[in-house]
Amino acid sequence: MLLHVGWHHIVFNSALTLLLGIPLELVHKAWRVAPIFLAGVLAGSLLSSVAEPAVTLLGASGGVYALIGAHYGLVIMNWEELQEGWQSWRKNPLKIFSSGLFRLLLLTLLVALDFGVALYRRYTLASLENSVSLTAHAAGLLCGILVGIPCLRNLDKKPWEMVLFWVAIGLLVVYMIFAVLWNIFYMGYPTDIPCNV
């Protein structure tokens, strides 16, 4: 998580961490956001070790994607509250920026662009040393949603959101147990491993 491949890698991860993390911390406080970031790094590392055991992993991309996932989780849990008032955007055009739909579009665009760059680097540069771990990114994103739903504040709790709360915790526990047990009992790890970011 603290090691990166080159200055562009650490600058990009740091910039995204600040852009995505500061708004979360302002509303939900650092003690709720830090576990999401750390869980994303852990989940990304674990899934990468299961799906791509022949490569090593560097960077905090799983944590950055966990912050993106946490934003997705917030939009899911607070959809109705985020929709209030944005239809009157003709009176105040800035209201559209606080809507859940705008946030979903912006987050999806960010994820699509980053995954597109990662796919390009992996399959056009054709070198494991320059490739990006898509599994670490995907696991961080999913973990951010699953940890963000129970950790971050919910503005108005509804019955279905409490069910989603427990489903998220259950899925996260099952995933972590599977990945940890896989790493304990899997015997096919190679000894010479290229670097993956």
Helices (H), the chain: 7-28, 30-51, 61-77, 79-83, 100-124, 134-151, 159-185
Residue 114, CA distances (Å) to 16, 184, 185 in order: 11, 32, 33
Please write down the HEC assignment for all residues of 172-186: HHHHHHHHHHHHHHC
Tokens of 42: 């852990």
Distance CA 121, CA 113 (A): 12
Query: Which one is catalytic: 4, 49, 131, 137?
Result: 137
Q: Is 49 tagged catalytic?
A: no
137 classed as catalytic: yes
Type of residue found at 41? V
Q: Of 61, 99, 131, 133, which residue is the catalytic one?
A: 61
* 3-state SS, one letter per residue, for 147-167: HHHHHCCCCCCCHHHHHHHHH
In angstroms, the CA 149 to CA 156 distance is: 13
* Burial group, residue 147, by CB count within 10 angstroms (0-12, 13-18, 19+): buried
Q: Could you list the active site residues?
A: 61, 137
